[in-house]
C-alpha cells in the first residue's frame, strides 16, 4: 500500500532486468493446472493474478513474449527466464511468485483441473524441512550468497560483483 492509500504492488524477475509496478486492484489469484500452463511455468501449475483492472507499468526492462497459442502470449525475462505474464485478449495476468510480496495475493480458484498432476494434492502431506535444516547434506548453504534481485525496487542493478561462481 502506498502513502496516498492507493494500493500498489511491485515485483519482477529473479535477475532484476525486468521490474513491474501495479497500481490499483489486483484481481483474484488463481492457479491453472492446464498442460499449457505447466509447460509455460515449468511447474506443476501456474499461479496468476489478473491486473486487467489495474495500471501495469514496466519500470525496468520489459518481458520477451512467446505466443503459446493464437490467443495468448506468455511473457518472461529474456535474461533469466523467469515466467512473468499471461496475456490474453481480455487482459494481462502476472505470476504471483514474481510479486515482491506474493503472500498478499491469495489464490481463490483453480482452473485446468483436467490436467492436474496426480500427486499435487499429496504435496502438503509430504515430510517437510526448512532450507537450512540439512547443512550437513548441503554445506554450501552455510555461506550462500543470493544473486537474485531483492524483493523491492532498486535504483541501480545489478550491484558491483561477479555473477560467476
Ligand atoms: Zn531476469
Ligand atoms: Zn492454464
Residue 55 C-alpha to ligand 2 middle, in angstroms?
23
pLDDT tens per residue across span 83-119? 999 999 999 999 999 999 999 999 999 999 999 999 9
Q: Which of 13, 9, 14, 51 is nearest to 30 (CA)?
A: 51
Instruction: In whole angstroms, give the CA distance from residue 19 to residue 12.
Output: 4
pLDDT tens per residue across span 93-103? 999 999 999 99
Residue 155 has pLDDT above 70, yes or no: yes
CB-based contact 58:75 (threshold 8 Å): no
Q: Which ligand is nearest to the CA of 76?
A: 1
Q: Which ligand is nearest to the CA of 64?
A: 1
Mean of the pLDDT values across residues 22-46? 97
pTM for this prediction: 0.91
Residue 88 C-alpha to ligand 1 middle, in angstroms?
22
pLDDT at 46: 98
User: Number of C-alpha atoms within 13 angstroms, CB side, residue 106?
Assistant: 1
Amino acid at each position: 500500500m502506498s502513502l496516498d492509500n492507493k494500493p500498489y504492488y511491485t515485483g519482477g524477475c529473479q535477475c532484476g532486468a525486468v521490474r513491474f509496478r501495479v497500481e490499483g486492484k489486483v484481481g483474484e489469484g488463481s492457479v491453472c493446472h492446464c498442460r499449457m500452463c505447466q509447460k509455460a511455468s515449468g511447474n506443476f501449475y501456474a499461479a496468476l493474478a489478473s491486473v486487467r483492472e489495474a495500471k501495469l507499468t514496466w519500470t525496468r526492462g520489459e518481458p520477451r513474449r512467446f505466443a503459446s497459442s493464437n490467443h495468448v502470449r506468455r511473457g518472461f525475462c529474456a535474461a533469466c527466464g523467469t515466467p512473468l505474464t499471461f496475456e490474453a485478449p481480455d487482459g494481462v495476468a502476472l505470476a504471483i511468485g514474481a510479486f515482491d510480496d506474493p503472500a498478499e495475493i491469495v489464490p481463490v480458484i483453480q482452473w485446468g483441473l483436467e490436467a492436474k498432476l496426480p500427486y499435487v494434492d499429496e504435496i502438503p502431506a509430504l515430510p517437510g524441512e526448512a532450507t537450512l535444516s540439512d547443512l550437513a547434506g548441503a554445506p554450501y548453504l552455510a555461506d550462500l550468497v543470493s544473486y537474485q534481485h531483492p524483493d523491492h525496487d532498486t535504483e541501480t542493478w545489478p550491484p558491483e560483483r561477479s555473477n560467476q561462481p
